[in-house]
Every structure is written in C-alpha cells, then in structure tokens.
Chains A and B, each alone.
Chain A
Amino acid sequence: MDEGDVRRLLEVAVEDTRPRGLADGMWERALHAQKRQRLRAGLSAVCVGALVVTAVATTGSLNGDRAGRPAGPITSSSDTTQPTRGPQRPPTTTFAPSDYPFAESPAGLVDASVVQDLWTASRAESTPWVHSPIPRSISVGGATDLSTDPVEHALMAVQVSLDRPDTDDIFVLGDDMRWRRVEVPGLEPVADQATHSLELLRPTSLTRDGTMLALPQPGEIVVVDLLTGQVERYEVPGLNGSVIWSADGTQILTGNQGRAGGRLLSLDDGSVQRTQQSGMVFDTTFAPDGALIELHNVETTKGYHFEIRTDGGLEVPPVRLTVDVSAGVYQQSVHATDNAIAFVRAVYGWSSPRERDERHGVVVVDRLTGKVLAQLPMLSDVFLYESSPMGWLDDETLLLRLGSDVVSWHYPSGDLRRILTTEGEPVGLAFAPAAVAAVID
C-alpha cells in the first residue's frame, strides 16, 4: 500500500458525505459575536476605569487632597464623620469570571509572583544541560535483549516504530546507559473506551525505581521484571487504558481516563479489587505516602477538583481539594508528592492564541490548601500534543516533557535544565524518576 492507495481510500470513504447548509447564517452569527466581543471589551474598560478612579480617590484620601493638605491619621469608623449626602453606594461591581470563561476566578487569582517565564521552543536552545551521563538523544541502535542482558535499574522506556511497519518495539535504557529491547510476544494494540488508540507504553509504565515495567492490554496487565526480563501476565477485566504504579511498586491501578471505577491489581497474589472511585475521574496518581489522588472534575470557570484518598482508594472517604484557577481541558498527567500536586492546565475552545498561551502550562499546587505554588506557562504550539509532567525527581523538582525536550524543573526557583531531546519521535515515553534522579547532579 503506497501513498496513492491511501489517498484513494480516504477519498472514496467520504465521497458520499453531503454536508448540511452550515454556511447559512454564519455571517450574521459572526457579526453578533463581534458585537458581544466589543461589548465585553467596553465593559472591561469601564471596570478598569472604575478601578483607576477608585484607586486615585483612595490614594488621594491617604496622601492628602489637591490643596496640599496632608492626610490625616487612619482612624476607625467610629472616629469618622459619616457622609451626609445620602445612603452609601454599594461596592463597585467587580468583573464576574462567569462572564468570560477564560478569566481567572477572583478568589483563586494566581499570584503573579509564582508565574514563571514563558516556555517556548526557542527557549529550549538556551536552556543549560543537566550534568548527567544520560545520552542527550534517543538512539536504540545496538540494543541487546533484556532477557539475556537485564538491567539494574531502568531510567526510561521508549516505544518506537522501527523499520518493520507492523511492529512497535519497546526499549529501556539501563543505568549503565545501554538500551535493551523488551521482548513481550503477542502484544495487542490498546484503545480507550472511545476506541481511540493509545500508546502501549504509558507515561506511567515504569516503577519509580525503574525495576518493573507494566503494559496495559485488553483484559490483562503485562508486567516485566526488568532485573530478570521475566514477563508475568495478570488477568484484569476491562480495556485497561492506563497503568499507575503504587508508591511501593506492589500494586497497579488500571482504568480509563474519564470513566468511573478503577481496578487495583495486587502483584503479590494477583487479586483485583474495584476502587471506590465515583464520578468522572480524569486522572489518578499515587503519592509517595500511599495516598491515591484523583482529578475528578474540571470546570472552565470553577477550577479543578481533586479527591485525595489516604487509604489507596478503598474505604476511607476522600478529602476534597479545590484548585481555584480557571480551568481548561485536561491532559493525563497528574503527579504528586506528599506536599504538592503537579498537573497540566490547558485551554482550548473559543480562546484566542494569546489567551491560550498565557494559561497553558504546568501548575504545581499545595496538596493541603490547593494554593498555586508555581506555574510554568508555555506557548500552545509547544504544548499542543506532548507536554506534561513525567514524575517528581525529588520533592521540589519535576521531570517535564516540553514538546521535544525533557527537562528538570525546580519549581521554587524556576531553574530549568535539559536532560534529553526526543528527536526521532518515540511513540511512547516513560521515566523512572527516582532512577533518573540518582544519576543527575
């Protein structure tokens, strides 16, 4: 099958598609939308003007009036003569975030001091490299077989499409900086419940220490012991779109983004339990202290809702955490420490590119309060497909995939260091954060 065949197949597949009159009335709708935008801009200007007037008036009252009289001491209301020109005015109406879906909520306005410099593709070139023996690019040529040449710890795993067109191969990089091919016969493609295909190698496929690899399969989970190359298959009902390792590497939570009811597989005895997840769970992660953290809901104007289950999601009612920043759609990439949660915030829809660029990015929030601790904004072009946290290197340093670069980000200081580039475009990528942290300075 060549490119010409594909062209013809696509052409014939939709040749009988007859669209309805979608263009009818479109011009009038556009005019109406423009009017709404102008009105909104005018309202914003009025609000800004009101705020400026209020600020000037306040400044005047504190610093003295135009006649040069000095400001008096700040007094309590009981010391102050009340105005006599009628009732007090109500407070100035403030901008309502629900009027503008991509504005920040006033209650959750992100402190500007935690918003760091915009990440762009060109910025990557000037970002210093981390000191480490990790190869700066991915080249699996010369890989040996894992079964005959196992690793002590794997730093990362990649899924690449090689010359054999129908094969997606998985390789791991050992802490001796050599690649091994992971041999698992009979792997099938995986898909989510909407039948969209997923990469077989999930971003969370490796244990934190890089000794085990899990691959989702329909109806089962394949676990590879990277220290021996031994492959075990565990029966787990369902589509199994994701695999998330518990902190101690003895359990795997599997499920699908956006659906209720995960399954917790115990590797000790192969038992499978349904978790008590409810509602729409967009992503799940285990924190080092064993807590199960679920991203439950994303509402454009009302922020993110996490539920934290301290018993691993089985019995104890969860603690709800609301992160009150205006939210966008979500990408599967939540990672937690005992104190913080990192995730990707993305905005699409009716926003302009500029609005998106200012709000796309990685966010770190306090696990107790939901307060935003740091935000790394990025251009939507960098973000669009492949930018997400890949795990925590330590309590303050996050491993990030930013477009084609993998970097460490010390979020309190904003220090970014390149670790490698993903030239060659691996289909899937996973890291063992503790193993990576052990080999970088």
Chain B
Amino acid sequence: MAAMSEDDKATFTIWAQSRLGRLVRSATLLTGDQQLAEDLVQEALLKVAMRWPRLRDGNPEAYALTVVFRDNVSWWRRRRPVIVEDVPDVPTPIRPDLTEHRLVVLAALDCLTVKQRAVLILRFYDDLSERRTAEILGVGVGTVKSQTAAGLARLRAVPELLATLDNEGGHDGRR
C-alpha cells in the first residue's frame, strides 16, 4: 500500500472536485435516484483516494466509473425491499422534485435491463468507446454492441420519449 503525501492530497482533491458533478450525474442516470447515486460516487471516490498514488498518472476516472457501475450491480442485487403482505401493483409514484423531461427519461431508462442501461449511459452520456465501456463493465465488446442495439431499440419504443424529442424539436421523425 503506497504512502499518501500532502501532494497526493492536493492533486486528488483537485481531481475529485473537477469530476464530481459528472460522476454523480452519470450515476443518477444509472440508478434513477440522486441519493443512491451520491452514495455510489462517495464509495468510488474513497476507493480512488486509497489508490491515488497508483491511479493519479493513469485513468482515475475510468476506475471511479468502474466502481460506480459495478457497485450498482451489487446494490441492485443486494436490495432488500420492504416486506408487505401484498405488494400493490401500481407504478412508482411520480416525484415532484423531478422535471418532466427528467421523469420521462428516467422512466424510459427503467424499461431497460440493468446491463442495457449501463451500456447506454457509458456510451452516450460518458461518451466512452465500445472498448472502454466493455472494460468498465467487465464484458466483451460484442456484448456492448448488442446491448447498445437492444437498449436503443427499447428506447425507441417508448412513445413518451419520442414525444419529448418532438416537443424539443430535436427529432426528425425517424424511429
């Protein structure tokens, strides 16, 4: 375990402050929940800090994203829902703190599998290559391609998302 100096602290702090927003926003898209996203990012930052002497000259952001996305799988599998006698079969209640656009996008992302969602966010929000995405998720490039195609196909089937695009004038009618 490498020793951590004051210089390391300064460079880590600068790096963390500059990347924090992007990481939290990426994790928010991934989880649909800003609080959970912040928890994931906090754990990721701590792991980056503990390995900073080895990571600082490499790609700490990729390492942080790896932690966020893999720990999210962990959380998703580990989740322990509240036990109720009979779960009401109703959709998740709408959260007033979210804008309409955000609600539509998050709801559309909920139509995806965990893997499709992760792939689309890394490819199209974090703007990573297929190869880098595959490395972060620990899957093959072929998986990234197929999950990208499948995820995009599912998003195209969400009418509310298409309506949002139309309203913003960014959709040329192709589906």
- Write the residues of chain A forming the contact surface with B, with a CB cutoff of 8 angstroms: 1-3, 5-20, 22-23, 26-27, 29-31, 33-34, 37-38, 161, 165-166, 189, 191, 193-199, 218-219, 237-239, 256, 258-261, 279-280, 329-331, 346, 348-349, 380-381, 384-385, 404, 423-425, 427
Contacts and interface: CB of A to CB of B under 8 A. Distances in A.
A259 B89 CA distance: 13
A17 B28 contact: yes
Nearest to B91: A195
A1 B175 contact: yes
Nearest to B34: A17
Interface string B104-119: 0110001111110000
B160 to A, nearest CB: 11
Contacts of B50: 30, 33-34
A346 B89 contact: no
29 contacts: A5-B165, A6-B120, A7-B125, A9-B105, A9-B164, A10-B124, A13-B106, A14-B125, A19-B20, A19-B21, A22-B41, A22-B42, A30-B50, A38-B1, A165-B154, A165-B156, A165-B157, A166-B153, A166-B156, A195-B91, A195-B92, A239-B87, A256-B87, A261-B85, A261-B86, A279-B83, A329-B74, A384-B73, A385-B138
Contacts of A331: 77
B137 interface: yes
Contact of B174 (A2, A12, A166): A2
Interface string B92-103: 100000010110
Contact of A6 (B21, B46, B147, B152): B152
A38 B1 CA distance: 9
Report the 10 A-B pairs with minimum CB-CB distance, sorted nearest first: A348-B74, A165-B153, A30-B49, A166-B157, A19-B24, A13-B105, A23-B16, A425-B146, A381-B138, A14-B25
Chain A interface mostly:
loop
Given A8-B170, A9-B105, A13-B101, A22 B20 contact: yes
B129 interface: no
A227 B13 CA distance: 65
A381 B70 CA distance: 10
A253 B146 CA distance: 32
A239 B89 contact: yes
A30 B152 contact: no
B45 interface: yes
Given A14-B25, A26-B13, A330-B77, 9 more contacts: A1-B174, A13-B105, A26-B12, A26-B46, A196-B113, A238-B86, A385-B139, A423-B142, A427-B150
A280 to B, nearest CB: 6
Nearest to B114: A196
Contacts of B83: 259-260, 279-280
B130 interface: no
Contact of A165 (B74, B152, B171): B152
Contacts of B34: 17
A11 B113 contact: no
B62 to A, nearest CB: 15
B87 A23 contact: no
A384 B112 CA distance: 18
A197 B111 contact: yes
A22 B44 CA distance: 11
A305 to B, nearest CB: 14
A381 B136 CA distance: 10
Contacts of B139: 381, 384-385
